[in-house]
């Protein structure tokens, strides 16, 4: 015990000695730069003093070394903040807590870079204060990038497309809003308007009122306020006065409002009324015994003058963070020493600035490294830094301001996004930021409603939407005025009316005809008028094409309609002599001569050996003609007439094919092309397909199409399928050629980023799913189609009439042959010997003679005639293509010639 007592006396008398023999300093100076009148300034001073006292009371931290803190009041002035920092640099200060605002941090960080004195701030949270440019500036609380991500997630969660940002025009607020814009873009949202106010607290009531009056006439009703407590409360007070805290508005405040709620108690009734329904963020700090103990001490520390907020906890932890870093520095045996800056000594020159007193902290680099390597648990939970110097797992509570209090509706963590579970529970589960996993409790919005506001209104204080409608002179079934009035009707109008009925809110509107009524208007010009604000929307048969989507937003297409080519149907009419079309007269002459020549050659070859090719000249001529005729028409010959006529339907069909087969034939040809006045087809043909404008002809109506096509003024017409199908239902002399060569549709046009375009798209999809869209199409556009529409070629079936001439010839030949045979039989009957005849029982009556003649015809011939007849039949069998095991010379010869 005596040894311990002596050692303690030695330490108290001479100071602590480190392992390297270097004595510890008795005092380590740190500074603090704050704006004392602000909530953050008041809370921070109290928390920092308490932390310094607790550190000095804990001998395990710095041993006999004491921390000494001094404060400087910047009083909203960047200049005074710089002066305070310079004074600290002259008094051997190892680190500075602050400054309170980012504007000063940007300037003072250049000073700290030169003199190696770290700055630690829990309120200057500008995301642009990066470690690459400002390595000696350390943010000990999550910077504004995280709370802006939380706000963007909230906006996306509630389904709002754009917001308005009100901010103080200084580095911190301005760069925070920039970060918010970046996070919103990632979620396909945007800031539609930014309202900048003078730096806090210089904004006046009139300046705030002027900005809010501008916001009132904007579409968006989602307003984000990123400023400071004095200016922020003024904004809400003026907004309440202007009726902007009523139903339909959404107000989201960054964490400044939660500090007001936590530190100002009680709030005045007027203040509560002006912020009711607003949402705000509070940095989340997990529950712990140390935190509860500190909160219980707070009233004693503050004497009840101000409440504790989250940034007071970060202020307390910042002191402990710095104390642990100094401890590591002393344990390493680093001497707390300062040296003159070589560059500054040359600038004195006898002047009064006395810059030479500014000294460089020799251990500043090691102290900074120790700060960044610190791993501790404070009042705010685990405190350590990632490689990018961001705090570990930043999280926020989402607060809904209600009557005389506030309601926590959920949490936001960088780990899992929005949730009603506390971050401590979420950290025990795998990270999950999917949209389906996001959840918040119900919100009481401004006006006391629990229905989520739409987030936007129609511009011009809810006046009727001015909707441009094309004044068509053709295809009036799609859109047209009623009897020359301003009342419009048609398929497109009915689709719009059906969709707008499905919206969960009323939409005031009026239709305005666009065009002179003499020719179809330019749809490109109509889209530009929507983009320029002359119209609030455009409804009609407006095709969604690329150049229009660059200036306006379209709804979901409600009908598909790409470009197609239409051309006349030119088919051949059938007649009694249609069978003669495959051959020209010369071809018929040559073919007949060829087959007669074949018969003559066969006769020459068979004359000596075949009894059927012998006999009287008359018989031999008949044999030659018959053989040639059978060669022409019997199916065994591949060059026979039936073989050729088996292709006759194809020949007839080929004759009906159009000269225009599609867009490719139009591109390569020189024919003139028609298009509809006002259609995008003109620009497409010229700009996309490089067809010369001189080849194009504008046509104003379906009748103009038909006239131009029939007269040959144009070879084809290019237009949208929806128009062409309606045209063909009344003009069956024409048909679509080739395939649809563009893919597009019709939609309603709205200004860029209009929320109404999104809601109308949803309504159109609903109409499509429930079948209402098809019903409207059937009512206005359903027509009976021509038989061949939709087919590339005309398929014509040959009728009996087509071969009536051929059948007539064949019939005449058969009748002639029958008459000749009858005459021959009668001639033979007369020359028949009398003994052949049986005695007639009935004399020589006509009926008896006819019966005798028929018996003669039916009687068998003698054996020699039978053999001759069998040989003749064999010859005919060869002619008809019959095959057997043995082929005679006649068959071989005939097949060879064939």
Q: What is the mean pLDDT of residues 105-125?
A: 92
Q: Do 627 and 602 touch, CB atoms closer than 8 A?
A: yes
pLDDT band at 315 (very low <50, low <70, confident <90, very high): very high
Highest-confidence range of 13-22, 384-393, 440-449, 668-677, by mean pLDDT? 440-449
Can you name the residues that pair with 280 across neighbouring β-strands?
A: 253, 399
HEC profile of 469-492: EECCCCCCCCCEECCCCCCEECHH
CA distance 785 to 196: 63
CA distance 869 to 882: 17
Over 60: is that where the pLDDT of 808 sits?
yes
84-93, 347-356, 498-507: the lowest-pLDDT one? 347-356
CA distance 151 to 281: 8
CA distance 523 to 472: 11
Over 90: is that where the pLDDT of 209 sits?
yes
DSSP code per residue over 281-321: EEE-----HHHHHHHHHHHHHHTTSS---HHHHHHHHHHHH
Helix (H) or strand (E) holding 67: strand 66-73
Over 70: is that where the pLDDT of 882 sits?
no
Q: Which pLDDT score is estimated for 661?
A: 83
836 or 787, greater pLDDT: 787
Q: Which DSSP category does 152 fall into? A: H
Q: Which pTM was predicted?
A: 0.69
Over 60: is that where the pLDDT of 789 sits?
no
CA distance 757 to 748: 8
CA distance 680 to 525: 11
140 or 464, greater pLDDT: 140
DSSP code per residue over 598-651: HHHHHHHHHTTT-GGG-S-HHHHHHHHHHHHHHHHHSTT-TTSHHHHHTTHHHH
Mean pLDDT over all residues of the chain? 82
CA distance 706 to 566: 10
- Token couple for 116: 């190696």
How many Cα neighbours within 13 Å face the side chain of 101? 27
Q: At what angle do helices 171-186 and 144-157 cross, to 10 degrees?
A: 40
Q: Do 109 and 81 touch, CB atoms closer than 8 A?
A: no
Q: Which pLDDT score is estimated for 347?
A: 55
Give the tens place of pLDDT for each residue, 261-306.
999 988 888 999 999 999 999 999 999 999 999 999 999 999 999 9
Give the tens place of pLDDT for each residue, 217-245.
888 999 999 999 999 999 999 999 999 99
Q: Which pLDDT score is estimated for 706?
A: 92
416-422 long-range Cβ contacts below 8 angstroms, 24+ apart: 417/153, 418/153, 418/154, 418/157, 422/284, 422/286
- Using alpha carbons, list the distances in angstroms from residue 63 to 26, 305, 363, 521: 9, 33, 19, 88
Token look-up 């060879």 returns 896
CA distance 456 to 751: 14
Q: Which pLDDT score is estimated for 818?
A: 61
Closest by CA to 871, choosing from 603, 606, 599, 612, is 612
Q: Which residues contact 458 (CB under 8 A, 6 or more apart)?
A: 219, 465, 507, 508, 536, 756
Q: Which pLDDT score is estimated for 658?
A: 47
Over 90: is that where the pLDDT of 335 sits?
no
Q: Which pLDDT score is estimated for 635?
A: 45
Q: Do 539 and 748 touch, CB atoms closer than 8 A?
A: yes
Q: Do 59 and 21 touch, CB atoms closer than 8 A?
A: no
Helix (H) or strand (E) holding 424: helix 423-426
Q: Which pLDDT score is estimated for 842?
A: 47
* Percent above pLDDT 90 for the chain: 49
CA distance 348 to 351: 5
Closest by CA to 97, choosing from 45, 170, 175, 26, is 45
Q: Which pLDDT score is estimated for 621?
A: 77
- Token couple for 507: 């939409």
Q: What is the mean pLDDT of residues 7-14?
A: 38
- How many residues would you count in the chain? 898
Q: Which pLDDT score is estimated for 639?
A: 57
Q: Which DSSP category does 830 fall into? A: H
58-62, 542-546, 876-880, 890-894: the lowest-pLDDT one? 890-894
Over 80: is that where the pLDDT of 612 sits?
no
- Using alpha carbons, list the distances in angstroms from residue 378 to 60, 247, 313, 618: 16, 42, 9, 132
Give the tens place of pLDDT for each residue, 324-333.
999 999 988 8
Over 90: is that where the pLDDT of 500 sits?
yes
Q: Which pLDDT score is estimated for 344?
A: 61
Closest by CA to 748, choosing from 382, 524, 467, is 467
Over 70: is that where the pLDDT of 352 sits?
no
pLDDT band at 622 (very low <50, low <70, confident <90, very high): confident
270-274, 619-623, 724-728: the lowest-pLDDT one? 619-623
Q: Please give the backbone phi and psi of residue 360, each rounded to the nearest 5 degrees, phi first.
A: -95, 130
431 or 636, greater pLDDT: 431
Helix (H) or strand (E) holding 585: helix 585-606
Q: Which pLDDT score is estimated for 828?
A: 75
Give the tens place of pLDDT for each residue, 548-568.
999 999 999 999 988 999 998
Q: Is 338 left (phi over 0), alpha (psi -120 to 50) or beta?
A: beta
CA distance 352 to 355: 9
Over 80: is that where the pLDDT of 886 sits?
no
20-24, 50-54, 514-518, 649-653: the lowest-pLDDT one? 649-653
Give the tens place of pLDDT for each residue, 29-86.
999 999 999 999 999 999 999 999 999 999 899 888 999 999 999 998 888 888 999 8
Token look-up 């020159």 returns 349
Q: What is the mean pLDDT of residues 11-40?
A: 72
CA distance 216 to 460: 9
Measured torsion, CA atoms of residues 10, 11, 12, 14, in degrees rounded to the nearest 10: 80
Q: Please give the backbone phi and psi of residue 413, each rounded to the nearest 5 degrees, phi first.
A: -130, 150
382 or 882, greater pLDDT: 382
Q: Which pLDDT score is estimated for 205?
A: 96
pLDDT band at 786 (very low <50, low <70, confident <90, very high): low
146-149 long-range Cβ contacts below 8 angstroms, 24+ apart: 146/390, 146/394, 146/396, 146/414, 147/176, 147/254, 147/255, 147/281, 147/396, 148/176, 148/177, 148/179, 148/180, 148/183, 148/254, 149/183, 149/412, 149/414
Q: Which pLDDT score is estimated for 552?
A: 95
Q: Which pLDDT score is estimated for 388?
A: 66
Over 80: is that where the pLDDT of 461 sits?
no
How many Cα neighbours within 13 Å face the side chain of 740? 15
Q: How many helices (H) and strands (E) does the chain have?
A: 34, 31
Closest by CA to 695, choosing from 667, 654, 729, 660, is 667
Q: Please give the backbone phi and psi of residue 68, each rounded to the nearest 5 degrees, phi first.
A: -120, 120
CA distance 72 to 81: 8
Q: Which pLDDT score is estimated for 412?
A: 96
Over 90: is that where the pLDDT of 604 sits?
no
Over 50: is that where the pLDDT of 872 sits?
no
CB atoms within 10 A of CB 131: 16
Q: What is the mean pLDDT of residues 590-614?
A: 66
Q: What's the first-to-final CA gap in the chain, in angstroms? A: 138
Give the tens place of pLDDT for each residue, 388-402.
676 667 899 999 999
Q: Which pLDDT score is estimated for 141?
A: 93
Strand ranges across the sheet with 93-97 = 66-73, 27-34, 93-97, 119-121, 137-139
Q: Please give the backbone phi and psi of residue 678, each rounded to the nearest 5 degrees, phi first.
A: 90, -10
């Amino acid at each position: 015990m005596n040894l311990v007592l002596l050692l303690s006396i030695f330490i108290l008398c001479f100071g602590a000695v480190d392992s390297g023999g270097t004595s510890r300093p008795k005092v380590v100076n740190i500074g603090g730069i704050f704006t004392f009148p602000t909530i953050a300034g008041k809370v921070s001073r109290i928390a920092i003093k308490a932390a310094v006292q607790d550190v000095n009371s804990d001998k395990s931290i710095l041993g006999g070394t004491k921390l000494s803190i001094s404060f400087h009041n910047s009083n909203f002035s960047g200049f005074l903040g710089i002066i305070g920092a310079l004074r600290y640099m002259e008094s051997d200060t190892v680190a500075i807590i602050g400054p309170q605002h980012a504007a000063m941090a940007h300037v003072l960080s250049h000073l700290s870079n030169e003199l190696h004195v770290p700055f630690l701030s829990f309120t200057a949270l500008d995301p642009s204060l990066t470690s690459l440019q400002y390595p000696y500036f350390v943010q000990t609380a999550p910077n504004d990038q995280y709370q802006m991500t939380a706000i963007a997630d909230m906006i996306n969660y509630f389904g709002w497309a754009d917001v308005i940002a009100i901010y103080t025009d200084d580095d911190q607020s301005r760069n925070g809003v920039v970060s918010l814009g970046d996070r919103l873009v990632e979620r396909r949202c945007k800031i539609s308007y930014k309202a900048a106010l003078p730096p806090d607290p210089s904004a006046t009531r009139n300046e705030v009122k002027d900005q809010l009056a501008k916001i009132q006439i904007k579409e968006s009703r989602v307003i984000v306020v990123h400023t400071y407590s004095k200016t922020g409360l003024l904004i809400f007070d003026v907004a309440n006065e202007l009726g902007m805290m009523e139903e339909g508005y959404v107000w989201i405040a960054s964490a400044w409002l939660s500090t007001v709620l936590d530190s100002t108690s009680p709030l005045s009734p007027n203040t509560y009324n002006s912020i009711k329904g607003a949402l705000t963020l509070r940095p989340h700090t997990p529950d712990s015994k140390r935190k509860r103990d500190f909160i219980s001490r707070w009233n004693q520390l503050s004497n009840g003058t101000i409440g504790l907020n989250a940034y007071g906890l970060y202020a307390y932890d910042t002191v402990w963070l710095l104390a642990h870093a100094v401890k590591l520095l002393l344990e390493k045996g680093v001497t707390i020493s300062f040296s003159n800056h070589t560059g500054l000594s040359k600038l004195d020159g006898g002047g009064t600035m006395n810059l030479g007193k500014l000294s460089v902290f020799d251990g500043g680099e090691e102290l900074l490294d120790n700060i960044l390597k610190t791993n501790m648990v404070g009042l705010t939970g685990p405190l350590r830094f990632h490689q990018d110097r961001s705090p570990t797992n930043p999280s926020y509570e989402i607060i809904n301001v209600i009557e005389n209090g506030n309601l926590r509706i959920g949490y936001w963590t960088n780990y899992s996004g929005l949730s009603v579970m506390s971050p401590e529970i979420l950290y025990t589960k795998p990270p999950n930021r999917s949209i389906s996993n996001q959840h918040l409790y119900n919100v009481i919005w401004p006006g006391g409603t629990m229905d989520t506001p739409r987030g936007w209104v129609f511009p011009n204080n809810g006046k009727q939407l001015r909707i441009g409608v094309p004044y068509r002179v053709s295809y009036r079934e799609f859109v047209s005025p009623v009897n020359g009035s301003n009342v419009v009707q048609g398929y497109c109008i009915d689709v719009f009316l059906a969709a707008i009925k499905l919206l969960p809110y009323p939409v005031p509107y009026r239709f305005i005809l666009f065009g002179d009524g003499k020719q179809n208007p330019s749809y490109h010009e109509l889209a530009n008028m929507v983009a320029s604000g002359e119209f609030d929307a455009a409804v009609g048969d407006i095709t969604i094409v690329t150049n229009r989507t660059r200036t306006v937003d379209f709804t979901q297409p409600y009908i598909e309609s790409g470009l197609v080519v239409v051309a006349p149907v030119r088919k051949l009419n059938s007649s009694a002599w249609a069978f003669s079309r495959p051959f020209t007269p010369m071809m018929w002459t040559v073919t007949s001569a060829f087959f007669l020549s074949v018969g003559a050659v066969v006769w020459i070859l068979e004359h000596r050996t075949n009894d059927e090719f012998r006999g009287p000249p008359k018989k031999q001529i008949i044999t030659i003609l018959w053989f040639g005729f059978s060669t022409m028409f019997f199916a065994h010959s591949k060059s026979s007439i039936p073989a050729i006529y088996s292709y006759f339907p194809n020949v007839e069909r080929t004759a009906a094919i159009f000269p225009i087969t599609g867009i490719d034939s139009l591109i390569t040809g020189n024919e003139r092309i028609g298009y509809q006045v006002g259609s995008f087809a003109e620009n497409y043909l010229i700009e996309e397909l490089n067809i010369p404008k001189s080849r194009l002809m504008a046509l104003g109506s379906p009748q103009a199409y038909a006239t131009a096509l029939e007269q040959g003024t144009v070879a084809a017409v290019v237009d949208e399928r929806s128009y062409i199908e309606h045209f063909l239902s009344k003009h069956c002399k024409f048909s679509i050629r080739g395939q649809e060569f563009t893919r597009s549709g019709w939609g309603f046009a709205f200004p860029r980023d209009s929320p109404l375009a999104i809601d109308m798209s949803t309504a159109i999809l609903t109409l499509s799913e429930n079948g209402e869209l098809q019903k409207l199409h059937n009512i206005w556009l359903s027509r009976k189609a021509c038989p061949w529409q939709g087919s590339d070629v005309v398929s014509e079936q040959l009728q009996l009439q087509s071969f009536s001439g051929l059948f007539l010839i064949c019939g005449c030949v058969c009748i002639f042959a029958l008459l000749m045979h009858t005459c021959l039989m009668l001639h033979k009957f007369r020359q028949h010997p009398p003994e052949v005849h049986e005695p007639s029982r009935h004399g020589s009556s006509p009926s008896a003679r006819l019966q005798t003649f028929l018996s003669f015809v039916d009687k068998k011939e003698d054996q020699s005639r039978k053999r001759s007849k069998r040989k003749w039949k064999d010859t005919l069998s060869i002619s008809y293509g019959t095959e057997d095991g043995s082929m005679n010379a006649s068959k071989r010869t005939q097949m060879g010639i064939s």
